[in-house]
Amino acid sequence: MHASIVAIPDIGAPTLRRALIAGARRVIADRDTLNRINVFPVADGDTGNNMAFTLQAVLAGALSQRARGVGELLQRVGSEAVDGARGNSGAILAQFFQGVSEAVGDTVRLDADGLSRAVRAGAESARQALSEPREGTILSVIRVFADALEPARAGSGLGDWFERALEHSRQALHDTTGQLAVLQRAGVVDAGARGFVDLLEGIAEFMRHGRSVSPTERAEAGELASAAHADAIDAEHPDHRWCSECLIGAERLDRQALRAAVEALGASCVVIAGSTTRARLHAHVADARTLFDTCARFGRVEACKADDMFAQQRHTGLHQEVAIITDSSADLPPGAAERLNIDIVPLRINFGERDYLDGISLMPSDFFRRLRGDGILPRTSQPPVGDFRRQFEFLLAHHPQVLYVGLSRAVSGTLQAAESAAARLGSDRVQVFDTARAAGGQGLLTMLAAELAAQGETRERIVAELERLKPQTLVWAAARDVRHAVRGGRVPRWVGPLAEWLGLTPIAQVTAQGTLKVGGALFGKRAVPSRMAGYVVKRVPPGQRWRLIVGHGDCPDDGHALLEALRERLDCAESWLVETGPAVGAHAGPGTLVVSLQPVRENGDG
């Protein structure tokens, strides 16, 4: 086997670039297997996606362009990996590349001695990135690989030398099953460690053949036990719901002080990868908001993400053909997302220089408090395409089909971002549905989709029902302070002065096209909930049973009064009071009331 490997005396940037491309492609091709065997540190079935996402960022950036030397190339690789890192294993891999890069410096070509020193530095850097390094993980395999690359062990050529180190790494991967009890119970190797070996396998194949070779199918080391995912949340930290990450930039970042501050929060699986000016933090926490606020003390916080590991756990054992996902502009009743297995992609909110995740790092009550008191006008923005892509990839690993039930295209670019993510996946397994609604109207359609999915309906049948009930799903909103709606362009400018002069509370309705149109007003500011209920009742078809969601913008007493008034005047099969979030509040302001109604489907067929 060794004789077929071409000996290479040293490595230049073109060869290293092609070798890393081959290795990255090997990991990406094996992503589904890595997802299936992912049981540590949390059995959330996304290690393959996270490592693939990290390496895709490197492929699209550093490895897509030529470099003058290996030092320049590895510097780009380390930087792109840190910026694009996802998940525990992705962050460790990024720090490995960062450590290799720092050891190589400005070197133009790399020989065996230089490569050995750089890999050892990368292994040590990866280990130092973790607050609690564990054996039997990717760290163990990286260390074995580094030890096996000792220059004294070099043979007739770099290819033979690398192959022997790879053989040691394969054995180290096999040994992980016996090093961690959770791996032994599941009968699998560590997923992150296998991903690293995949990277080495791809590089070795390139060295053998001088080109990237597609990996052949390999038999699984063992099938996952049915209980492998039953204890998905870390037994030591069962309240650590959020797999959280962010980029932190500063002129001089004190990573040790940052680590101490994060550890003081009781965070687990802490990885800090990067340099003294830019680092990516990964941590599992019970409260992502507190984590990001802590990070903000050390520099600019960007690119925040917080994956709900409780939701991921539900999907690993959910035998359902269609997964339902929406965005945080949908007002869902408390507990509905958990009960109906609905995934949510958070919108982004900006106050000054800080970006927040809607409903995760900024709750509705905090949003309205800042809106009333800070004097800083917020901006909402659609989730990045990468947020949708990451969620879609995870769901596709566990379900044959994915249906995104999204915010009206007419009022936001959120739907377009989801479409871009689906297109990049190049799969017809993801479908994007425009509700032409927002707030509770979008929430009602999302709940309907999730209920039908739970009943085993096909995606085609679910979409047909959504299309049928979309025009019958009605939404009205009353804004106490129309200045926010005028500033956001949701209502004409002339409405502001007129409403203030006459003491009006404008009422807008979501049109069939998904736009917001002012259709009436209440005179005066007294008894608004009762009078709004009367306004709505006059405009709905008679003799119909309804599902009702009332949303309030930091005015729970008025919301409750409106809900009770509608319950008294309409035949409501189900009704809920919810806090409406920034998607509405940024444009309608505090005191907003939103009424959303949907006809009840009788006997399952409407």
| Cβ atoms of residues 435 and 326 within 8 Å | no
Q: What is the pLDDT of residues 145-190, one digit of tens each?
A: 999 987 654 445 667 888 899 999 999 999 999 998 888 888 999 9
Asked if 215 and 26 touch (Cβ cutoff 8 Å), the reply is yes
Residue % of the chain over a pLDDT of 90: 47
Tens of pLDDT, residues 513-536: 888 787 777 776 778 899 999 999
- pLDDT at position 482 is 61
CA distance 298 to 205: 43
184 Cα distance to chain centroid: 29
Ranges of H-type helices in 433-524: 439-454, 459-469, 483-487, 495-502
In this prediction, residues 349-358 reach a mean pLDDT of 82
pLDDT, tens digit (0-9, with 9 covering 90-100), for 97-113: 999 999 999 999 988 88
Count how many Cα atoms sit within 13 Å of the Cα of residue 372 in the half-sphere of its side chain.
10
Residue 496 pLDDT: 60
Report whether the peptide linkage leading into residue 41 is cis, meaning its omega lies within 30 degrees of zero: yes
pLDDT at position 231: 35
∠ CA 538-540-541 to the nearest 5 degrees? 115
Q: What average pLDDT does the chain have?
A: 85
CA distance 466 to 532: 27
pTM of the entire predicted model: 0.71
- CA dist 427 and 415 (Å) reads 17
C-alpha torsion 383→384→388→391, nearest 10: -90
pLDDT of residue 26: 93
DSSP per-residue letters across 58-89: HHHTGGGS--SSHHHHHHHHHHHHHHH--HHH
For 377, 484, 491, 522, the CA distances from 496, given in Å and listed in that order, are 17, 9, 8, 14
Helices vs. strands in the chain: H and E counts, helices first: 24, 17
Structural tokens at position 458: 């096909």
Q: How confident is the model at residue 372 (pLDDT cuts 50, 70, 90)?
A: confident
User: Per-residue pLDDT for 3 more than 60?
Assistant: no
- Output the pLDDT for position 151: 62
Could you tell me which residues are beta bridge partners of residue 405?
433
d(CA 221, CA 36): 12
The pLDDT tens digits of the residues spanning 287-330 come to: 999 999 999 999 999 888 898 888 887 887 778 999 999 999 99
Which CATH class name applies to 474-604? alpha beta
Q: How confident is the model at residue 222 (pLDDT cuts 50, 70, 90)?
A: very low
Q: How far apart are CA 543 and CA 9, in angstroms?
A: 84
pLDDT, tens digit, for every residue of 552-577?
999 999 999 999 999 999 999 999 99
Q: What is the spatial distance between Cα 323 and Cα 302, in angstroms, rounded to a whole number?
A: 29
Q: Would you report the helix, strand and coil content of the chain in percent, each value rounded to 5? A: 50, 20, 35
pLDDT of residue 221: 28
Residue 286: pLDDT above 50? Answer: yes
Specify the pLDDT at position 53. Answer: 82
Q: Can you give the residue ranges of every domain in the chain?
A: 2-209, 474-604
**Residue 444, amino acid:** L
pLDDT above 70 for 213:
no
Q: Rounded to the nearest 10 degrees, how much is the dihedral formed by the CA atoms of 156, 161, 164, 170?
A: -160
Name which of 138, 148, 55, 142 is nearest 100 in CA terms.
142
Provide the pLDDT for residue 520. 77
Nearest to 315 by CA among 431, 424, 393, 236: 393
Superfamily of the domain at 2-209: DhaL domain (1.25.40.340)
Query: Which pLDDT band, with edges at 50, 70 and 90, does 36 fall under?
Result: confident
Pairing mode, if any, of strands 342-345 and 322-327? parallel
Q: Is 321 helix (H, G, I), strand (E, B) or coil?
A: coil
**Going by C-beta distance under 8 Å and a sequence separation of 6 or more, which residues neighbour residue 23?**
198, 199, 200, 201, 202, 203, 206
Which one has a higher pLDDT value, 132 or 549?
Answer: 549
Measure CA 296 to chain center.
20
Q: What is the mean pLDDT of residues 399-405?
A: 96
Residues 6+ apart with CB under 8 A from 306: 242, 243, 244, 245, 288, 346, 357, 360, 361
